[in-house]
Amino acid sequence: SLGVAGGLFISQLTGWTQADPVIALLVSVLIIRMGAVIILKSSRVLMDDHCPETEEKIEALLDRHRSRFVDYHDIKTRRSGTQVFAELHLSIDGEMTVKEAHDFTDHLEDDLEKELPEVSVTIHIEPPEDHS
């Protein structure tokens, strides 16, 4: 409405009758731009977009525990509202018992969820050679 008033004021002051439609066009471009920005931001949330910054934080924490496992891969994240869901594959030493591997991944999941409270983590254990 300020743009409309400005357009009318300029038209009356200068006699330039095209001022009002030009300002109306500028206002409509601004409205369309704001709408596009809102659509882009909300579509990422609605489409369960991945979270690269969360993936980097997960990788950093995994690197701190690197001596306890062979490798990690296939880190996937998705955002659903304020919650982030993450899953990854962890290749463990073949000499570890199932209980040791389970206890270690529980400990790792707890550490990840303490450091990143908005993240729910699932870790899939596999032997060192299997990257399927």
- Hey, which residues does 87 pair with through a beta bridge? 76, 122
Spans of all domains in the chain: 2-46, 52-126
How high is the pLDDT of residue 13?
Answer: 83
Instruction: Please give the average per-residue pLDDT across 90-116, as a whole number.
Output: 90
CATH number of 52-126: 3.30.70.1350
Predicted TM-score (pTM) of this structure: 0.62
Query: Token pair of 96, please?
Result: 């570890």
How high is the pLDDT of residue 131?
Answer: 55
Residue 121: is it exposed, middle or buried by C-beta count within 10 angstroms (0-12/13-18/19+)? Answer: buried
